[in-house]
């Protein structure tokens, strides 16, 4: 194990129970700073920089396309999906294990949520050319995603100079929450319509890693819907 055990499992459990669960229940989002520490956080950053330099980060995709609207005017990030088991992703895997542990503790307290699986990790880079991501909801139509977790990797970030702030517009309130994408910060929020959010134009290279945790029932239902849809369109075309 090349990493220093910065936070013990008991600390993770305490953070999850005392900070994350109440904040999710009361506000719908929560962030923690210094979750991996300089060394392990630095290793994650280096792996992401290596991926970027190796050219594996590609244009982020949109669900649908709108004629006449350029993709990069909606989202300007470059991404790659990783499981953590790939060579060169050991530190990312360490991060994912840490987030999994915290979410497992949270799930045991968040009633009516059965969280047993998650997406792969999306490694994302906004290249610093002023690109951002317009206001959107991650899961507007019950695709199963329940909690979004974003780990930020940007040292010496100045929101004034570099922008790149994540602005959350909590549903039903008149306030916004501005979250700077600072190194070793881990953010949690409900993925559904409660949390529309945008990434403001970024004028410096901005790295983050995102994972989405699924509510098992909503996910199973979404898969059933998708299957029915594809079955019926196959029938129509045959
Ligand atoms: C997204 C997103 C926020 C961020 O990728 O859907 O909104 O702060 N990311 O990177």
Question: Which of 199, 204, 205, 212 for mutating ligand 1's site (highest number of atoms within 8 Å of CB)?
Answer: 199
Q: Which residues make beta-bridge pairs with 209?
A: 123, 151
Q: For residue 66, what pLDDT is reported?
A: 60
Q: For residue 69, what pLDDT is reported?
A: 67
Whole-number Å distance, alpha carbon 208 to ligand 1 midpoint, is 8
Q: For residue 64, what pLDDT is reported?
A: 64
Q: Is the CB of 197 under 6 A from ligand 1?
A: yes
Q: For residue 113, what pLDDT is reported?
A: 73
Whole-number Å distance, alpha carbon 199 to ligand 1 midpoint, is 6
- Mean pLDDT of successive 10-residue segments in the chain (238 residues)? 64 94 96 95 98 92 65 83 96 97 92 86 95 95 96 98 98 95 98 97 98 95 86 71
Instruction: Give the CA dihedral 217, 141, 172, 177, nearest 10 degrees.
Output: 90
Q: Tell me phi and psi for residue 168, to 5 degrees.
A: -100, 135
**Whole-structure pTM value:** 0.92
Question: What is the per-residue DSSP string for 128-162?
Answer: SSS--EEEE-S-TT--SEEEEEEEE-BTT--HHHH
Q: What is the CA radius of gyration of the chain?
A: 18
Instruction: Work out the end-to-end distance of the chain between its first and last CA atoms, rounded to an integer number of angstroms.
Output: 54
Q: Is the CB of 210 under 6 A from ligand 1?
A: yes
Tokens of 203: 């004028």
Q: For residue 4, what pLDDT is reported?
A: 43
């Amino acid at each position: 194990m090349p990493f220093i055990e910065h936070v013990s499992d008991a600390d993770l459990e305490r953070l999850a129970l005392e900070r994350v669960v109440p904040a999710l229940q009361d506000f719908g989002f929560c962030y923690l700073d210094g979750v991996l520490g300089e060394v392990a956080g630095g290793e994650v950053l280096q792996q992401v920089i290596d991926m970027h330099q190796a050219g594996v980060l590609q244009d982020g995709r949109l669900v649908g396309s709108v004629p006449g609207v350029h993709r990069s005017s909606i989202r300007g990030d470059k991404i790659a999906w990783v499981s953590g088991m790939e060579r060169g992703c050991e530190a990312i895997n360490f991060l994912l294990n840490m987030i999994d542990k915290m979410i497992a503790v949270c799930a045991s307290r968040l009633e009516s949520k059965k969280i047993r699986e998650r997406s792969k990790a999306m490694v994302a880079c906004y290249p610093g050319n002023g690109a951002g991501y317009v206001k959107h909801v991650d899961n507007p139509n019950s695709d199963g995603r329940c909690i979004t977790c974003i780990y930020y990797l940007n040292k010496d970030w100045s929101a004034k100079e570099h922008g790149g702030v994540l602005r959350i517009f909590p549903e039903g309130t008149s306030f916004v929450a501005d979250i700077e994408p600072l190194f070793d910060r881990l953010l949690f929020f409900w993925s559904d319509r409660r949390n529309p959010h945008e990434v403001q134009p970024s004028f410096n290279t901005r790295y983050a890693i995102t994972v989405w945790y699924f509510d098992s029932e909503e996910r199973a239902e979404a898969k059933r819907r998708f299957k029915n849809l594809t079955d019926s369109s196959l029938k129509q075309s045959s």
